Amino acid sequence: MRPIALLACLLLAWLAPLHAATLARVEPANWWVGMRHSEVELMLHGRDIAALQARTTHPGVRVLGTAALDSPNYLFVTVAIDEDAAPGELAIELLDGDAVVARHPWRIDAREPAPPRGFKTRDAIYLITPDRFANGDPSNDTVAGMREGANRADPDGRHGGDLAGIRAHLDYIASLGFTRIWPTPVLENDQASTSYHGYAITDLYRVDPRMGSNEDFRALAREAREHGIGIIMDVVLNHIGSEHWWMRDLPSRDWINHGGRFVPTNHRRTTIQDPYAAPGDRAGFTDGWFVEAMPDLNQRNPHLARYLVQNTLWWIEYAGLAGIREDTFGYADADFLSRWAKAVMDEYPDFDMVGEEWSPNPAIVAHWQRGKANASGHVPHMTSMMDFPTHIALRDALLRPDTWESGWMPLYEALANDFLYPDPGALVVFAENHDTTRLLAHVDGDLGLWKLGLAWVATIRGVPQFYYGSEVLLRGPAERHDGQLRADMPGGWAGDAANAFTGEGLDARQREAREFVRRLFNWRKGATAVHAGSLVHYAPEDGVYVYFREHEGRKVMVALNRNPADAPLALGRFAGSIGDARTGTDVLTGRRMPLGEVLRLPARAPLILELD
């Protein structure tokens, strides 16, 4: 080529745009007019876009700035949405100089009327592992392009349960007396194996196609509200799945703790508050990976922190959620957790969130609840926490022999620690969940002890949580094996021999258990003394634990008899709580009982009386 021609080509190349860019992703894909969080940082992903500028010409939407990190394939664009911005479609344009080299559709929407929010003491939560509950749409059991297909014969594999299965049985859940559903995570988990549980998320803005679609999730929430049920979403802030698309092109070197290299957490949760903890031990807890398949996120990165906050706000607004359950709570950066929870509560003041802090120590759990004044200076904003201390004490109380320091005593004394909590009445109480052995397995099939445990959960302070299938005595192994304890709900699949939803094929014990749950939690829906009442409990004696709930003159007496035989209960000791009441109505049978000098308690059974 002649020198003049070569010079002309170089000049044209210098004057022309660098390239025609292509955007693979813009997250979030939309926002809403009128949000308190009106400045949104968009994550744009596409080849070699980091050096470009961004703009939009939509009235009321302004680009405030851009930021690039280590990867040349990300651009973070902050947009401001004015209160008078018109909802509708718009484009995010990328510019190389004055030339537009890419356009990507984006959208701002009008907010829908606010649905009921939160979960209060009047509510009862039904926890579901969606893959194991009901297969409402067999066509999505195995999805082309997804790493794991359905294999119901494998206890650790995918079984095909989905959102359609939950929708099909909302009336059943409501009939049991439950007003909130907490599904374990439903977002994409495109992992090679054991992906059914949902906690190794590979796309934070997409429902797993084997569960359904984003719109299916929103439709579930809407339909649930028609049944008087709110949806609590399971959110994971600590980690992602190893097959998350980020892992193929990290936005920055510090996006994942330990540079993307597996270093296990030490699980030393006390280090967060321990004034003597070595800094390395504290970092070993928060920065270590939960397991090798779950890369640990570094929430100290401000762009990742904003991404996670916005992701939570997006799902609440998109689906009209009633609440959030946050997984592995204390494992994430503590300062971030404070900012994240505050952002949610600032946006939705009537909202409720519960965090998982799996500790038997109430001081460790109380650290995270809103209103707690912490010596560390940490300011929490979580309305609720999972009450693991009483969960552990309850399970001990049901099995340990009745002595001066055992039997019901550990549970009685666990409640005495409530002074540590800013709001003990907001805690979520439970006898079992998806990470523990089933209560029935724990008590070795003893139906009486099982009823005692559930009666305590339903009548004590706090918000009760129940695990699906226990109403028909799903038992599972005595030692924890996740895939087996998260067993398929009978009747959730075509051809099942028994059907929990219709009662067909259930044996007498299963029918008895289901009716017990139905009566207990439907009664609780209207039991204001349990929702809002004071609690007075009496030191357990001779295998019997007695406590009272009272609100505005309405009284409930609960007597839990752990003995294998009927037991006489002298009532003189409880005169101050019984007051002028002369009779009580058994809420499970409707039978009226006189309150004389002695009350006869049935063997291995709860007695719950509304005092007249």
Active site residues: 327, 356
What are the CA-CA distances from residue 354 to residues 180, 342, 462 (Å)?
A: 13, 13, 12
Q: Residue 111 gets which letter from DSSP?
A: P
Closest CA to 65 of 303, 342, 310, 308: 303
Which string of DSSP letters, residue by residue, matches 210-231?
TT--HHHHHHHHHHHHHTT-EE
Six-digit token string for 479:
């030692």
Six-digit token string for 474:
């799903």
How far is Cα 282 from Cα 495, in angstroms, rounded to an integer? Answer: 51
Which string of DSSP letters, residue by residue, matches 130-179?
GGGT--S-GGGSS-TT-S--B-TT-TTSB----HHHHHHTHHHHHHTT--
Tell me the backbone φ, ψ of residue 304, rounded to 5 degrees: -65, -40
Under DSSP, is residue 459 helix (H, G, I), strand (E, B) or coil? helix
Six-digit token string for 204:
């934070």
N-term to C-term CA, the chain: 104
Contact 94, 101 (CB under 8 A): yes
For 102, residues 6+ apart whose C-beta sits below 8 A from its C-beta are 20, 21, 22, 23, 46, 49, 52, 93, 94
For 8, residues 6+ apart whose C-beta sits below 8 A from its C-beta are none
Tell me the backbone φ, ψ of residue 231, rounded to 5 degrees: -100, 130
Query: How do beta strands 605-611 and 88-96 pair?
Result: unpaired
For 57, residues 6+ apart whose C-beta sits below 8 A from its C-beta are 90, 91, 93
- Calculate the dihedral angle through the C-alpha atoms of 207, 210, 215, 216, rounding to the nearest 10 degrees: -120
Tell me the backbone φ, ψ of residue 388, rounded to 5 degrees: -65, -35
